[in-house]
Structure 1
């Protein structure tokens, strides 16, 4: 029997799917195909009351993934809003935040930044840094997962949302707060390692009601961007995209080329030199062939 369903959990080569009928199946794929993601709408062939086989996926409206020089990792499909969950403790990775925002821009996904554990005294300095991203147009929402996550549901209503961020930022704790349960595992922060323990090992979708869905994703330490084209990078920087097409050379690397509008803007103070340096680093990274 054939049916359509949505992937609500991804375990690598195994998936959990919820059919349109509401029945949940443990699903595998034909051959060794693994290019499905949590959030995908798929065609399934029901084998029995508990098992199904995924035969294909329906067209995606968005796809969030990361890619380094060695491999590609799909994160989620058909996501409307990405909430990058950050906190001052453990030490936040600003580069990871920047890379996630680039991936969202490239994937056509609306991005917001969550400052979790906002009640901690250490949050003041990180709040000041996040003000820059708020000025770029990425809303910064302050919450404390253990006490107050009420600001998030109105921003999620009627959409498929994803929590993304490094380990220890409180993604699963926020998920539990929104669910009103301990459906998502949480863990303690290792002070010795100054990093969070990986408590979410796979992408999991939760139904929050009212056609609102939340995907809790595993903690990240890196976010490869090899799936992006260096020539397109400038378009994914809200503060730099107005300079697209302004450089003398179409393949400008924004370093020493004469007539580089990006370098000129940085030198004059019109744009942030730090952001241009980040653009240059990612451009260099994408110039290295994949292995």
Structure 2
């Protein structure tokens, strides 16, 4: 019987059969999926085959995983050189960002977008807590919106407190499987509670001494939306370390760089010190945002550190 993974707690999984029944399931044997090595063999969003167990009501055994259309991963927080798959079979992802209490860094946004580009998952930027923005933050929001929209990304704003932008968000999520992610403290749980009345997902304030959010979600969990579609709530991410990426490939995942690569003098141009570099010229001309270019250099450095350069 075919089923969809809704939650992973390590050794046990919550799955929903095509008949609509939720079951607790465990893995039979060891999975190797398309030679992907990860710290978690199964992820939320995976389609699997299950066999119910005789004499054990409400439980099943997972004996097959079906091919993934895509997935999003990160560097494993426990095993430095392995990946951890956050979720699979996604139609889109939503990164919840804030410009105040706490502030989401440009570097974090750009890293998230690179990961989405790597695995062909359309990304949406959603700026939350607009009710506490003042003139400074509103100006930054307009600036960032213009930059990321020019690159083809959808950018929206929302205020859970004032219930602004929620109807539009509902329409964006309808009939799609969407990964919801963001820093701890950006209001992700409050936002999901507004979409799922009655679920009562735990929320927690930003810690006063650090200005950083506290983790409130321990495991990735999928929820069915009342109007159709599914969302996957992920643990709050403090840092997003990229894995499975060669430094030579990085510029291909910056849309504004990708369209200029053919104009560089050298085919293997890294856009750092090389002469006649079309990317560096575009930065100098103001056609590529300088802070996006700095994000590129920072990610490049982090990839070098991973490989021990």
TM-score by length of 2: 0.87
Matched, 1:73 2:87: no
Alignment of 1:209-228 (within 5 A): 209-228=226-245
Q: 1:120 aligns with which of 132, 138, 160?
A: 132
Give me the whole-angstrom Cα distance separating, in 1, the residues matched to 2:70 and 2:226: 21
Alignment of 1:124-273 (within 5 A): 124-131=138-145, 132-148=147-163, 149-273=166-290
Give me the whole-angstrom Cα distance separating, in 2, the residues matched to 1:272 and 1:126: 14
Cα deviations by residue, 1:226-268 (Å, 9 ceiling, x for unpaired): 2223222222112221112322222222111223221222223
Q: 1:45 aligns with which of 47, 51, 71?
A: 51
Match of 1:86 in 2: 97
* Contact residue 93 and residue 166 of structure 1 kept, 8 A: no
* Contact residue 215 and residue 235 of structure 2 kept, 8 A: yes
- 1:185 positional shift: 1.4
Match of 2:21 in 1: 23
* Contact residue 146 and residue 177 of structure 1 kept, 8 A: no
Give me the whole-angstrom Cα distance separating, in 1, the residues matched to 2:242 and 2:141: 26
Match of 1:103 in 2: 115
* Contact residue 253 and residue 283 of structure 1 kept, 8 A: no
* Contact residue 8 and residue 219 of structure 2 kept, 8 A: yes
- 1:6 positional shift: 0.3
Match of 1:282 in 2: 299
Cα gap change, 1:91/1:210 in structure 2, threshold over 3 Å: closer, same or farther?
closer
- 1:283 positional shift: 2.2
Cα deviations by residue, 1:52-83 (Å, 9 ceiling, x for unpaired): 22222111111011126433111110111111
* Contact residue 17 and residue 25 of structure 1 kept, 8 A: yes
Cα deviations by residue, 1:67-108 (Å, 9 ceiling, x for unpaired): 264331111101111110012211222211111111111111
Gaps of 5+ in 2: 32-39
* Contact residue 130 and residue 158 of structure 2 kept, 8 A: yes
SS at match of 1:6: strand
Cα gap change, 1:99/1:178 in structure 2, threshold over 3 Å: closer, same or farther?
same
Superposition CA RMSD, Å: 2.0
SS at match of 2:198: coil
* Contact residue 253 and residue 280 of structure 1 kept, 8 A: no
Length, aligned pairs only: 289
Matched, 1:61 2:78: no
* Contact residue 131 and residue 161 of structure 2 kept, 8 A: no
TM-score by length of 1: 0.92
Cα deviations by residue, 1:124-143 (Å, 9 ceiling, x for unpaired): 25413422223322222111
